[in-house]
Amino acid sequence: METEAADFIDHYLKGFGPKQSRNLLQGLGLTKYEIPIDSRITKWLKDFGFPVTLSADALGDLEYYKFVSRGFRELCAACDIYPCVLDAAIFSSFDS
């Protein structure tokens, strides 16, 4: 349901992309599984040993974004943690 809502926003609201649509939903407190994937997430995944080369620039492509998002969700499921919780932990780890 979250993915469909994010895709709807991405498709119908001018200027929104995959990240911005998920950012909006997260800001409204409506997501647990869909997160805004950005350079912080891709850097963390790379440092963690994500098995695919990641490009923050390519995240504007919806299919690539969904591919990375699925991998992130699978990692979270294996750790029994919601993606929004890991996202918050990664985000705060970059703050000084």
Structure confidence at residue 61 (pLDDT): 87
Residue ranges covered by each domain of the chain? 2-93
Cα–Cα dist 27/67, whole Å: 22
Helix (H) or strand (E) holding 96: none
Structure confidence at residue 74 (pLDDT): 95
**Rounded mean pLDDT for each run of 10 residues along the chain, 96 residues in total:** 94 93 95 93 91 84 91 95 96 85
